[in-house]
């Protein structure tokens, strides 16, 4: 008789895979000096970069350190500054009053990075955008709405081991008696960036919601929106990384968002899928509107991702997309880069790499694309903040 061992074989394969995952993560971890604790490295900035980020001169920072308005920075034994952490940069912003926060009357920016097509770079864009904005001094919450937990992973967690279902959106979405989402918001190693992580259990919410909505309880599609409203006062920007499917979670994300960023690689397959995504989105907007759950987006932007401009077909498609989408397409393009792959293989972002994995040029180029994309998105939401729109006009951005 044949001997079936399916379950034990799959279990053994899982155990071996998780070992690899843990080893990969360890490449992104550090042990803090003088401590046994393994953690993620927070970014550090030179005085020049710090001055840029704070919006004051290096001399002004040194003066503030001398006269005690700022603490003295840590130095190596030879007396060299070891650089400022993001927490120190943010403390300086507080002292100098240069935080770029929204005014309480400006609307919270809730950006869905959405496309039902898989693998287009949603999670990559979400994490890099979140870290970039936190570095600029905004108070950011990244919400991983995908049970695959890719963003959670890029923030250094192994979703199935480090995260339990109570740490995710799941309890809030299913339990309508809960009034605040704050239980799920956790600090991260990146000052100014908070995370609501995801793990596989979030997939159950997809099913449960669908079943309940089928019994005509469609107001459940409002739960994420209500959850975000319960934590809104603490943040300037919320970034939503949804799963690659038109399910109840994705609909909840669309309902909660007030801005939509659509990553699209300039290939025929991805472009075609994105066209279907637009059709489905259009239908869903209609269905939600009928149920008194309108989707109100302040801006919609397409972002070309994973672009390889060496390929003539991709160049051509990029041009077609620019003509087609006009001002709804970001000018900056996120090119395909080995550094992005290399960073994600260490469960981190390119912003966290201490040094290039490939070459300095590749790394610098990649940072240039990322910063250009993220800065353009930053301008988009600042335009929706009356207190900032004025400043942008003064800066000549408009």
- The site for ligand ATP (CB under 6 A) is made up of 118-124, 146, 148, 150, 244, 305-306, 334, 336-337, 340-341, 344
CA atoms within 13 A on the CB side of 154: 29
Contacts of 38 (CB under 8 A, 6+ apart): 26, 29, 30, 31
> By CB under 5 A, which span of 107-115, 142-150, 152-160, 368-376 interacts with Mg ion?
142-150
* Shortest separation between residue 119's beta carbon and ligand ATP, angstroms: 4
* Shortest separation between residue 201's beta carbon and ligand ATP, angstroms: 17
Q: Which is nearer to Mg ion, 269 or 394 (CB)?
A: 269
- Picking from 105, 49, 39, the residue whose alpha carbon sits closest to that of residue 81 is 49
Q: Which is nearer to ligand ATP, 231 or 329 (CB)?
A: 329
Contacts of 29 (CB under 8 A, 6+ apart): 38, 39, 40, 156
Cβ atoms of 361 and 337 within 8 Å: the answer is: no
CA distances to 32, 40, 363 from 339, rounded to whole Å, are: 25, 19, 6
Count the Cβ atoms, other than its own, within 10 Å of residue 194.
Answer: 22
Give CA–CA dist 115/241, Å, rounded. Answer: 10
* Shortest separation between residue 144's beta carbon and Mg ion, angstroms: 9
* Shortest separation between residue 165's beta carbon and ligand ATP, angstroms: 20
Q: Which is nearer to ligand ATP, 123 or 248 (CB)?
A: 123
* Shortest separation between residue 240's beta carbon and Mg ion, angstroms: 11
Sole binder of Mg ion in the list 50, 109, 114, 123 (CB under 5 A): 123
341 binds, among Mg ion, ligand ATP, none (CB under 5 to 8 A by kind): ligand ATP
Q: Which is nearer to ligand ATP, 45 or 363 (CB)?
A: 363
* SS3 label, residue 392: helix
Give CA–CA dist 135/53, Å, rounded. Answer: 8
Contacts of 109 (CB under 8 A, 6+ apart): 102, 236, 237, 238, 258, 259, 381, 384, 385
* Shortest separation between residue 48's beta carbon and ligand ATP, angstroms: 28
Q: Which is nearer to Mg ion, 123 or 344 (CB)?
A: 123
Dihedral sign (CA 76, 78, 79, 80): negative
Give CA–CA dist 142/188, Å, rounded. Answer: 10
344 binds, among ligand ATP, Mg ion, none (CB under 5 to 8 A by kind): ligand ATP
* Shortest separation between residue 282's beta carbon and ligand ATP, angstroms: 21
Under the binding rule (CB under 5 A), the answer on residue 122 touching Mg ion is yes
61 binds, among ligand ATP, Mg ion, none (CB under 5 to 8 A by kind): none
Phi and psi angles of residue 248, each rounded to the nearest 5 degrees, phi first:
-70, -35
Cβ atoms of 124 and 337 within 8 Å: the answer is: no
Q: Which is nearer to Mg ion, 137 or 247 (CB)?
A: 247
120 binds, among ligand ATP, Mg ion, none (CB under 5 to 8 A by kind): ligand ATP
Under the binding rule (CB under 5 A), the answer on residue 136 touching Mg ion is no
306 binds, among Mg ion, ligand ATP, none (CB under 5 to 8 A by kind): ligand ATP
Task: Mark residues 143-172: x for contact with Mg ion by CB under 5 A, - for none.
Answer: -------x----------------------
Residues that bind Mg ion (CB under 5 A): 122-123, 150
């Amino acid at each position: 008789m044949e001997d079936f061992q399916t379950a034990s074989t799959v279990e053994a394969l899982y155990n071996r895979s998780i070992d690899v995952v843990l080893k990969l993560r360890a490449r992104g971890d550090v042990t803090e000096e003088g401590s046994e604790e393994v953690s993620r490295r927070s970014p550090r900035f030179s005085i020049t970069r710090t001055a840029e980020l704070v919006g004051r001169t290096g001399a002004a920072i040194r003066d503030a350190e001398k006269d005690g308005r700022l603490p003295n920075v840590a130095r190596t034994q030879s007396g060299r500054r070891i650089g400022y952490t993001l927490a120190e940069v943010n403390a300086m912003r507080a002292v100098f009053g240069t935080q770029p926060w929204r005014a309480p009357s400006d609307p919270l920016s809730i950006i869905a990075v959405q496309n039902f097509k898989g693998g287009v770079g949603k999670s990559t864009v979400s994490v890099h955008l979140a870290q970039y904005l936190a570095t600029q001094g905004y108070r950011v919450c990244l919400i991983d709405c995908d049970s695959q937990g890719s963003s959670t992973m890029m923030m250094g967690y192994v979703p199935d081991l480090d995260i339990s279902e109570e740490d995710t959106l799941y309890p809030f979405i299913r339990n309508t008696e809960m009034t605040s989402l704050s239980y799920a918001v956790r600090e991260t190693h990146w000052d100014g960036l908070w995370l609501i992580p995801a793990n596989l259990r979030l997939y159950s919410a997809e099913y449960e919601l669908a079943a309940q909505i089928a019994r005509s309880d469609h107001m459940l599609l409002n739960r994420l929106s209500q959850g975000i409203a319960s934590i809104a006062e603490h943040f300037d920007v919320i970034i939503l990384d949804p799963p690659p499917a038109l399910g109840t979670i994705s609909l909840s994300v669309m309902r909660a968002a007030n801005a939509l960023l659509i990553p699209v690689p300039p290939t025929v397959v991805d472009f075609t899928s994105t066209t279907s995504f637009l059709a489905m989105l259009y239908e869903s907007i209609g269905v939600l509107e009928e149920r008194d759950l309108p989707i109100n987006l302040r801006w919609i932007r397409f972002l070309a991702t994973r672009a390889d401009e060496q390929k003539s077909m991709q160049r051509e498609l990029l041009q077609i997309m620019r003509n087609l989408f006009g001002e709804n397409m970001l000018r900056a393009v996120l090119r395909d880069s080995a550094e992005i792959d290399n960073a994600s293989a260490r469960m981190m972002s390119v912003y966290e790499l201490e040094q290039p994995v490939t070459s300095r040029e590749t790394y610098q180029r990649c940072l240039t694309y990322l910063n250009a994309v993220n800065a353009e998105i930053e301008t988009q939401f600042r335009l929706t903040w009356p207190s900032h729109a004025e400043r942008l006009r003064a800066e000549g951005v408009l």
